[in-house]
């Protein structure tokens, strides 16, 4: 299987695989649990098949997700790029936008956005320890924190970069104004926004800004938590603790609508000997301005399938036809 060349992340020295292994689900949190051995095997299979960039976050499994990634990359560190995120704390009462939820064990917790410099510095040390690495390739602020000036947050990240603890600075879920302020203080390598065939809002302002500013774009949820794989039909039942059960994208009506669109894409998949999921991922990483797509996997087979999305190239006509097939779905979910 041929694998696409790595892509440079903005103006940084970091390169990433066009398809990135998303490690949210391996932390178990909000996905109805996860088996550690399966998660490690999935990550290692992904690395072996070309998913050399791994994206996690401190908040995934409340630290556990990073620990799983750390175990999986032992002996493989020189082959991978590690990206993680900070700024969502579950272990204190400082910060903004308190969100009462449950941890991976079902215990009540409150998560807050906390991007204070002292919190960022502390989180970085904890992430380095849990991941078992000396340096984090890409360190991203998970969400905006209105209670902290973004300039203070960026100053803390620049200091971590100067100390050799991180290689590149990124942000996640920032709008254009937040990015402008951040980029004025720090070399911003990347943005991580949601983007998919049915969720294209970033095409209006965010993507054009990033392209003009030379900021890499690593999109999350390109398969919309499995919805665009063709494997989540209208009759699918979700286990307790699976957040998809209450997500608006997973109403029975919307699952029917997505299934109809995927059937229009199926002939394209068959022409390339690819699965529907592989075609959707391939479409995503070939859209203008997209550096890479972050895709989750819970088993080695899923990781290998995701990597297979880098083994073919869609024609411009196919790229346009796929977009058109989902236009009505995207409009309905705006």
pLDDT tens for the chain, 334 residues long, are 446 899 999 999 999 999 999 998 775 544 455 688 999 999 999 999 999 999 999 999 889 999 999 999 999 999 999 999 999 988 888 888 888 888 888 889 999 999 999 999 999 999 999 999 999 999 999 999 999 999 999 999 999 999 999 999 999 999 999 999 999 999 999 999 999 999 999 999 999 999 999 999 999 999 998 899 998 766 777 777 676 776 778 788 888 899 999 999 999 999 999 999 999 999 999 999 999 999 999 899 999 999 999 999 999 999 999 999 999 888 887 7
Going by C-alpha positions, the residue among 3, 6, 5, 15 that lies closest to residue 190 is: 15
CATH code for the structural domain at 7-332: 3.20.20.100
Reduce the DSSP state of residue 152 to 3 states and report it: helix
Task: Compute the 3-state secondary structure of the chain and give helix, strand, coil in percent, each to the nearest 5.
Answer: 45, 20, 40
Question: Could you state, in order of their start, the residue ranges of all structural domains in the chain?
Answer: 7-332
Residues with Cβ within 8 Å of residue 237, at least 6 apart in sequence: none
How many helices (H) and strands (E) are present in the chain, helices listed first? 11, 13
Classify residue 59 as left (phi > 0), alpha (psi -120 to 50) or beta. Answer: alpha
Phi, psi of 206 (to 5 degrees): -65, -50
Please indicate whether residue 60 is annotated as part of the active site. yes
pTM for the full model?
0.93
Q: How far apart are CA 323 and CA 316, in angstroms?
A: 11
Find the catalytic residue in 60, 64, 139, 209: 60
Residue 271 CB neighbours (<10 A): 13
């Amino acid at each position: 299987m041929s694998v696409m060349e790595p892509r440079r992340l903005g103006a940084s020295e970091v390169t990433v695989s066009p398809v990135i292994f998303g490690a949210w689900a391996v932390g178990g949190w909000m996905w109805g649990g996860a088996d550690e051995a399966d998660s490690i095997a999935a990550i290692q299979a992904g690395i072996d098949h070309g998913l050399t960039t791994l994206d996690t976050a401190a908040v995934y499994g409340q630290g556990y997700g990073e620990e799983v990634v750390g175990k999986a990359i032992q002996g493989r560190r020189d082959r991978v790029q590690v990206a993680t995120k900070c700024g969502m704390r579950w272990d204190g009462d400082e910060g903004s936008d308190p969100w009462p939820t449950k941890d991976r064990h079902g215990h009540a917790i409150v998560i807050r956005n906390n991007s204070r410099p002292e919190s960022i510095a502390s989180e970085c040390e904890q992430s380095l320890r849990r991941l078992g690495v000396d340096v984090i390739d890409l360190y991203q602020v998970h969400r905006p924190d209105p209670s902290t000036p973004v300039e203070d947050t960026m100053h803390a990240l620049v200091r971590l970069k100067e100390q050799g603890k991180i290689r590149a600075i990124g942000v996640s879920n920032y709008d254009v104004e937040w990015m402008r302020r951040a980029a004025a203080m720090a070399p911003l390598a990347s943005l991580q926004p949601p983007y998919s065939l049915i969720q294209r809002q970033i095409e209006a302002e965010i993507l054009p800004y990033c392209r003009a500013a030379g900021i890499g774009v690593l999109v999350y949820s390109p398969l919309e938590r499995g919805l665009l794989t063709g494997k989540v039909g209208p009759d699918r039942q979700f286990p307790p603790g699976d957040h998809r059960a209450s997500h608006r994208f997973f109403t029975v009506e919307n699952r029917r609508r997505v299934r109809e669109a995927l059937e229009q894409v199926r002939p394209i998949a068959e022409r390339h000997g690819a699965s529907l999921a592989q075609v959707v991922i391939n479409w995503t990483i070939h859209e203008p301005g997209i550096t890479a797509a972050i895709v989750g996997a819970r088993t080695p087979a899923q990781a290998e399938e995701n990597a297979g999305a880098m083994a073919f190239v869609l024609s411009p006509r196919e790229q346009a036809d796929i977009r058109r097939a989902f236009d009505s779905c995207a409009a309905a979910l705006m």
